[in-house]
Amino acid sequence: MPLALYLLALAVFAMGTSEFMLAGLLPDIASDLGVSVGTAAMLTPAFAIGMVVGAPLMAAFARDRSGRSSLLGSVLVFAAAHAVGAVTAGFPVLFATRVAAALANAGFLAVALTTAVTLVSPDRKGRALAVLLSGTTVAMVAGVPGGSALGTLLGWRAVFWAVAALCLPAAVGVLTALPARRVRQDTAGRPALRAELAQLARPRLLLVMLLGALVNAATFAGFTFLAPVVTGPAGLGELWISVALVLFGAGSFAGITVAGRLADRRPGPVVAVCGPLLLAGWPALALLAERPAALLALVFLQGALSFALGGTLITRVLYEAAAAPTMAGSCATAALNVGAATGPVVAAATLGTGASGPLWASGALVLLALLVARAGRGVFRVPTTAAVPAAADPAPVRPCDA
């Protein structure tokens, strides 16, 4: 894989750390800025909504700019937003910086997803995305626990400064490792925006996006509320919360790495195996939550299955949106973040049934995804012999016959 991919993954790591880090910082932020924890918690949905809205807007805005300049600008705006957030004394300013950071993150990820697949041969899109999105999984393993520890030692502002600092080597990497193409070269032979938007309305693409959103919603429904399961039914101390989160992140890294090698030519077996296992795993986690060893093992397994299946579906989104080259990444970004924003809301509604309620909600969301796929003419039944487009062939690979 090209070095540029790993440098893009570094930026994704910084942005992923920022997206997930607030869970452990909210009480400190609320106390420092003189607001309630509930008010401070609004920073999380503000970021997710900014990602969903910002992805298509920023992708359309970046059409007339080179990929390198768009990525560099997004990284610098993201770093600046965190620097301003780190010094502000008012909650409204911090809220505005989170929205600005979300827009920058959305723009970066939308362009990075499209750029990543241009750095490799057309039959290695899945592996390229696995490297890129590994930044998110490493953020779960190291970034979030590290940010939590830094916040405990030095306060929440230090965490914001650390995220801003992480963006600087990523910005240097984007500037030095990505090719500097002229805008005319980037736009040569590219379809008009209206034509790309028409491609995005294809039912087949919308179906795969919906499936990706549902699987990601299930992932974040369970992941967001792992802490009360660990300290509640499992009866473990607070230290074990970090252990569970790291195990989930390690599983997600393993899952997306393995699936990335199969998502291009053999997506069908990945989906056919991971879908039912993921469906069984969430209820099993709820039922076995009182057994710590089983709980921790299943947390790792669910992380692996969730990202293996989710990563494969996002790869299919890019294949289905191949006729919309500058907007394809925004489709994948929007699908991921619709799920990330919806899952915790659905899970929160089940907390009245007990700490394991969100795990059952995750299972229900996976079941809904499988039912949608079945009703959608079998999107999971991808023939393993499906042709991969040649470099000169812009037609997307279809995951199954219509």
Instruction: Tell me the per-residue pLDDT of 274-304, one tens digit each, with 9 for 90 and over.
Output: 889 999 999 999 999 999 999 999 999 999 9
- For residue 78 the two structure tokens come to 């993201």
- For residue 50 the two structure tokens come to 């900014």
Report the pLDDT value the prediction gives residue 325, as an integer from 0 to 100. Answer: 63
Q: Look-up: residue for tokens 């970034």? A: 143
Polymer length in residues for the chain: 402
Contact 317, 205 (CB under 8 A): yes
Highest-confidence range of 33-37, 220-224, 282-286, by mean pLDDT?
A: 282-286
Region 179-188: what's the mean pLDDT? 52
Report the pLDDT value the prediction gives residue 90, as an integer from 0 to 100. Answer: 92
Rounded-to-integer distance, Cα 211 and Cα 191, Å = 27
Burial 102-134 (b: 16+ CB within 10 A, else e): bbbbbbbbbbbbbbbbebbebebbbbbbbbbbb
| Residues 56, 61, 66, 69, Cα dihedral to 10° | -100
Report the pLDDT value the prediction gives residue 65, as an integer from 0 to 100. Answer: 64
- Based on its alpha-carbon atoms, the radius of gyration of the chain, rounded to whole angstroms, reads 20
Rounded-to-integer distance, Cα 45 and Cα 41, Å = 8
Dump pLDDT digits (tens) for 131-181: 787 777 777 777 777 777 788 788 899 999 999 998 888 888 888 777 665
Highest-confidence range of 26-30, 41-45, 275-279, by mean pLDDT?
A: 275-279
- Kindly tell me if the per-residue pLDDT of 383 is higher than 50: no
Residue type, 348: A
Dump pLDDT digits (tens) for 77-123: 999 999 999 999 999 999 999 989 988 888 888 788 777 777 777 66
- Mean pLDDT of all residues belonging to the chain: 79
Report the pLDDT value the prediction gives residue 318, as an integer from 0 to 100. Answer: 74
Report the pLDDT value the prediction gives residue 94, as an integer from 0 to 100. Answer: 93
- Among the listed ranges 5-19, 54-68, 342-356, which one has the minimum average pLDDT value? 54-68
Dump pLDDT digits (tens) for 247-261: 888 888 888 888 777
Nearest to 274 by CA among 205, 347, 215, 356: 215
Burial 285-311 (b: 16+ CB within 10 A, else e): bbebbeebeebbebbbbbbbbbbbbbb
Q: Look-up: residue for tokens 């790291």? A: 246
Rounded-to-integer distance, Cα 45 and Cα 296, Å = 28
